[in-house]
Amino acid sequence: MATGRLFLWSAALREWVSCPSDEITWLDRRLLSGDEDLTLHRAPRCAGLRYVHHRWELFSRDTTYRVYLAPQSPGTPVHADAVRRTACHVLPVAPTRYEALPVTLAEGSWLVSVGAWVLRLRLDTSAHIRADPDIPDGDKSPTTQAGTIKRRISEPGDDAVARVRGYFERNAAARLAMAYYYQEFILGLAAPQTVPMMNVVIALDLSGEGAVSDYKKLLQGFIWKERGHARDLADFLLANGLLTPADLDDARQIAAGNERNGVCEMARQRLRYRPKDTQT
């Protein structure tokens, strides 16, 4: 698994530009064609590059074009036809409700083709990205040292994706709640923030204040079989196509309908009411 810094070639600047590891680099209409090719999609309905689980991935939410990935060697033409002929990975047109399964990038030079456009990439593992703080062997629990919280080192279970997908298929309320909660992450905004849990509860008329927290704990159990991975949850759900823009659209439509029909106001009134403790 190759970690390191990922660079893309900027034709406008005529130099390599570093891809930030803390946000998605969208291969959208502007980046590929300077907003000239109107058949290309804008974010978040296009392909993109992201750094998750200590690796760089190419993924696609493009519902129009396949995305081709080919290694670039000396003399390789930088043309879409050549990339398609030599591609070692092809991301299919994304289904309506899920993104295509991502491809992990290995070290080296790469060409990505979307439609008639080609982008040059370079993954350099010698430019090492800061790793998580070291954790002593056998210590899988968060500890505090010099004011720094050390992250857990356990990995997702082999059946984690299937378990979460099955749960979301059985429990639409949980899927919609998480989509609404993580909407800025789904949209690929820079420095995304979660929606306040109370806002999610009111918008979707959930059972109570702790509903979103309960969903998060349950999902962490499905994925890591333990709690303590709240900061990794959004990355896992998005990286594996378990939350998509279509899920967010569904959640927003329900929230808008609830607001129009007075459901949200009733939820606000319900949540403002607190029974007093009885004295005996």
Which residue in the block uniquely carries the two structure tokens 């979460």? Answer: 164
Q: Answer yes or no: are the C-beta atoms of 7 and 25 closer than 8 Å.
A: no
Distance from CA of residue 207 to its chain's centroid?
A: 27
Q: What is the 3-state secondary structure (H, E, C) of 91-139?
A: ECCCCCCCCEEEEECCCEEEEEEECCEEEEEEEECCCCCCCCCCCCCCC
Q: What is the mean pLDDT of each run of 10 residues along the chain (280 residues)?
A: 79 84 89 91 90 88 91 82 90 72 90 94 68 35 32 68 92 94 82 87 88 91 82 84 89 94 89 50
What is the structure's pLDDT at 154?
A: 65
CATH 3.40.50.300 fits 5-124, yes or no: no
What is the structure's pLDDT at 270?
A: 82
Q: Quick one: which of 175, 199, 171, 212 has its CA closest to 255?
A: 199
Task: Say what the pTM is.
Answer: 0.48
What is the structure's pLDDT at 230?
A: 77
- Dihedral, CA atoms, 25, 31, 32, 36, nearest 10 degrees? 150
What is the structure's pLDDT at 112?
A: 96
Tell me the domain boundaries of the chain. 5-124, 154-272
